[in-house]
Amino acid sequence: MLTTDKTTNHLPQVQEPRNDGIPLDISWVKAVQANTSAIERRAATLPGRRSVKKDYQAAWLCKAISLIDLTTLSGDDTEGRVRRLCAKARQPVRPELLQALGMEGLTTGAICVYHDMVETAVDALRGSGIPVAAVSTGFPAGLSPFPLRIAEIGESVKAGAEEIDIVITRRHVLQGNWQALYDEMSEMRAACGNAHVKAILATGELGSLRNVARASVVCMMAGADFIKTSTGKESVNATLPVTLTMVRAIRDYYDRTGLRVGYKPAGGISKAKDALVYLALIKDELGDRWLQPDLFRFGASSLLGDIERQLEHHVTGGYSAGWRHAIG
């Protein structure tokens, strides 16, 4: 039986003040730099710096499950597929394995779907306490007319989404138009109302780590509750150098304002060992408070299958076939 924190769902242990944002400080934004070679060297050392085994590894993997935004964003999504995914969110690991681990009641952090499936997901998760996140604002390109993007946010909130994953306009970053990015983010934040907003930076399309760092700061100034790496549709998604850049921007923002902003790496994280590296990075750079679902999420689905296989190996000593751990 694991001796670990059994806080498994989306409810924070401590009620944090929401990031209401601050006025745009251009001098702060322009002072933000990123030493790419140093960041890449540091990131390259991360996989070998922390190693957890046996019960400790199983505990960390259970923690990772509680931080997953279980996601389906396909053109062929159906109500049946979404309901199966929601059932997986409620019971992410086979009951006998959780019982052996002493982790009954474990759930994923959230379900993430397109707007059209929000009502289905809300209905399927009723009574579970698991929130529904909707991707919005012309996801993934974010290039639909701005009034339609704002209206889309409102419709998803009305349908029951508690979290909205919005995409920023990349050209604002590439052109250094920080006022436009701030104004856009502020209006999207206002449209979300009580729903928390995750700002997707699409870091693989921003050109440089300095742009990633500056975009992170501007979105936090404009009231983002989370900053997120990617839509998962870009050719380059979450990476360790990008993560290091973004979490240090979060740390700087917290040091200056006292406000905690969450972080969500998305796309390309599919192995249990990768999840452990990301968790260790967050613990090192931001501390234990950020290892809770209200401040950290993985945007992934295939990751859960590999974690479940590792947990079965921990309990039984043998690896099982992937089909035994279907996502939905």
88 carries an active-site annotation: no
Residue of 63, 69, 165, 274 with catalytic role:
165
Two structure tokens written together for 56: 């400790």
> Is 101 within 8 Å of 120 (Cβ atoms)?
no
- Residue 226 CA to residue 174 CA, distance in Å, equals 21
264 carries an active-site annotation: yes
Residue of 69, 88, 228, 306 with catalytic role:
228
Q: What angle do CA 41, 230, 253 make, to 5 degrees?
A: 65
Residue of 69, 225, 264, 294 with catalytic role:
264
- The angle that helices 272-285 and 36-49 make with each other, rounded to 10 degrees, is 120
Q: Which of 37, 10, 16 is nearest to 132 (CA)?
A: 10
294 carries an active-site annotation: no
Regarding beta strands 262-264 and 226-228, do their DSSP bridges make them parallel or antiparallel, or are they unpaired? Answer: parallel
- Residue 186 CA to residue 221 CA, distance in Å, equals 9
* Residues listed for the chain: 328
According to DSSP, residue 76 is labeled T
- Residue 268 CA to residue 164 CA, distance in Å, equals 21
Two structure tokens written together for 162: 């508690």
Two structure tokens written together for 220: 């936090």
Two structure tokens written together for 11: 């409810």
> Is 68 within 8 Å of 303 (Cβ atoms)?
yes
* Residues labelled as active-site residues: 165, 228, 264
